[in-house]
Structure 1
Amino acid sequence: MVVKNQSDSTDNAETLTNIETFIEVYKYALKKATSPLIKTFLMGLAAGLFIGIGYIGAIYATRGWTSSLPVGIKNLVFGMVFTIAITMIIFMGGELFTSNSMMFLGAVKKQVKVNRLLLNLLIVLIGNFVGCGIISGFTALSGFCDDKDFLNNAISVFNHKLEMPWWQTFFSGILCNFLVAGSVYIAHSTKSSTAKFLLISLVIMVFALSGFSHVVANSYVWFLGPIFNLYGHNVSFSQFLQFGYQNQLPTLFGNFIGGGILLPGMYYIMYKKNLPNPITL
């Protein structure tokens, strides 16, 4: 692949250069810092709803698969279906804790206040959790849990995440946000909607089929835990709490490090000598 120089770019070009893409991603992160908090919450709510819907589709698509089938095929189908969630967020609008973590670079460059960064991340995370919680409730009310194969598949996902040691979820969270924040990053490299869709789908498919830990996606499964009790599968309050501190908390920090520090930081170091100072909206 031939990478164009920055000077080769034109305003009409569909594909941006690497440094132009970084600048657009940085501006995207800066805009989040100026967004009204009520909008941040509602956009977080929308993203949580979309993530939950994507999870329903992925669990439903892979329900009832027997052990005789290659597990890789099941994971591939799961990943392909789940891409609808991030596609809806990118094209319809929505904010995730994972992508908002990229605001950290603005805080390092002192263009975003630290208290604004923390408040934004808290508000968007609450919105994400509320959205996923709503969809978890709708999962039961819509009759999905009446399908034994769907229920068993969902319980299997819950148990798998519950049993993961915290250090695995932490590093899995780092890998996860390389891809989720990376999907937002790569979407800024082109102005073509078709190209955006294909690029996002490829990146998110790898995240979903690999089972990397995403604090928002995990929350959908987390909130399903108490609902399982209505269908004869006991999930105690202690197990619900265990999921929170053993899975969600390490995933939260892993996601922030992966998408807030390592991914944007790596590209900032590469391009910082050629960036305008400051980068303005």
Structure 2
Amino acid sequence: MVFTMAYRTPSEMAKAVVESSVTKANADFASLAILGFLGGSFIALAGASAQTVSLGLGSWAGAGAVRFISGLIFSVGITMVIIGGAELFTGNSLMIIGLCERRITLARLLRNWIIVYFSNFLGALLVAWLYYGSELWMTPGMGIATGFVNSALSKAELAFWPAFARGVLCNWLVSMGVWMSYAAADVTGRIIPTAMAVSAFVMFGGEHSVANMFYLPAGFMIRARMSALPAPSIFRNMASVTLGNIVGGGLLVAAVYWAAYLRKGRK
């Protein structure tokens, strides 16, 4: 009887991520825009669910339990992206490994990031608008509405460096989850490591740029106190968290694994 490995080794995973990077870099505009729109929508839908559940649990469940449950729910969004084949800016930071291997150009990398980033934003913004229009946040006592507004305020009021650092930590874990998903060929094997890594960043309060594309507009739309929030605060959060996400996923995962497994083999 011949047994075959049902998973990839770390070096094989690195090569698979390189090939995926090449495919993403060469994808046409329409495909990237559509899949990016879906990616932003999936993350926003998961974010809405996670936020609603965490606010609904209240203080009686304990902060740790609330974050744990919220993290598991949010991981559904990343799972939909991976299994459904959508495009997500934070995960695409791994494309830096293709740049390190000289399989893609910087221009192609930036093209992908820009298209996917703004497509993610449109998808997340649509969900925020639909969620606002649904009035699902109008619960007795307006606890969920207040929670959304306070969450948006706390994010927007973050100074650059704390937001940047939280972005780095967040996408270090998210990108490791995406990276580990390349180890398995079956759906279950791809979901479990992804969910574990993604849940971890939610538990400690990392900042995810695409998730914030939902949380900030949703809080702004619901706004009890958001009218006093200047727009530059929102842009500062998005800029610092986005840069942090690039460092966390692109440098601390993609570049590090390239150096570990592919650097010596490059011609």
TM-score normalised according to structure 2 size: 0.92
**Partner Cα distance (2:231, 2:176) in 1:** 30
The aligned runs of 1:53-92 (5 Å cut-off) are: 53-92=45-84
Amino acid in the other structure paired with 1:207: F
Aligned partner of 1:49 in structure 2 is: 41
**Relative to 1, partners in 2 of residues 1:61 and 1:67: Cα closer, same or farther, differing over 3 Å?**
closer
Q: Does 1:15 align with 2:7?
A: yes
Check whether the contact 1:64–1:153 (CA below 8 A) recurs between aligned residues: no
Aligned partner of 1:166 in structure 2 is: 160
Deviation at 1:273, TM superposition (A): 5.3
Deviation at 1:151, TM superposition (A): 1.1
Aligned partner of 2:147 in structure 1 is: 153
Check whether the contact 2:40–2:121 (CA below 8 A) recurs between aligned residues: yes
Deviation at 1:256, TM superposition (A): 0.7
Check whether the contact 1:228–1:234 (CA below 8 A) recurs between aligned residues: no
Per-residue CA deviation, residues 137-180 of structure 1 (Å, 9 max, x unaligned), is 01112221212222122122112212222101101111111111
| Secondary structure class of the residue paired with 2:207 | coil
Aligned partner of 1:213 in structure 2 is: 207
The aligned runs of 1:1-281 (5 Å cut-off) are: 12-147=4-139, 148-229=142-223, 233-236=224-227, 239-245=230-236, 247-272=237-262, 275=265, 277=266
How many residues get paired?
264
Check whether the contact 2:32–2:87 (CA below 8 A) recurs between aligned residues: yes
Structure 2: tracts of 5 or more residues without a match: none
**Relative to 1, partners in 2 of residues 1:14 and 1:150: Cα closer, same or farther, differing over 3 Å?**
same
**Partner Cα distance (2:153, 2:61) in 1:** 21
Indicate the larger mover: 44-53 or 160-169: 160-169
Deviation at 1:261, TM superposition (A): 1.7
**Partner Cα distance (1:236, 1:11) in 2:** 63
Deviation at 1:69, TM superposition (A): 3.9
Structure 1: tracts of 5 or more residues without a match: 1-9
Check whether the contact 1:105–1:264 (CA below 8 A) recurs between aligned residues: yes
**Aligned-residue CA RMSD in angstroms?**
1.9
Check whether the contact 2:37–2:122 (CA below 8 A) recurs between aligned residues: yes
**Partner Cα distance (2:122, 2:196) in 1:** 28
Deviation at 1:129, TM superposition (A): 0.3
Amino acid in the other structure paired with 2:147: N
Amino acid in the other structure paired with 1:239: P
Aligned partner of 1:5 in structure 2 is: none
TM-score normalised according to structure 1 size: 0.88
Check whether the contact 2:208–2:241 (CA below 8 A) recurs between aligned residues: yes
Amino acid in the other structure paired with 1:174: V
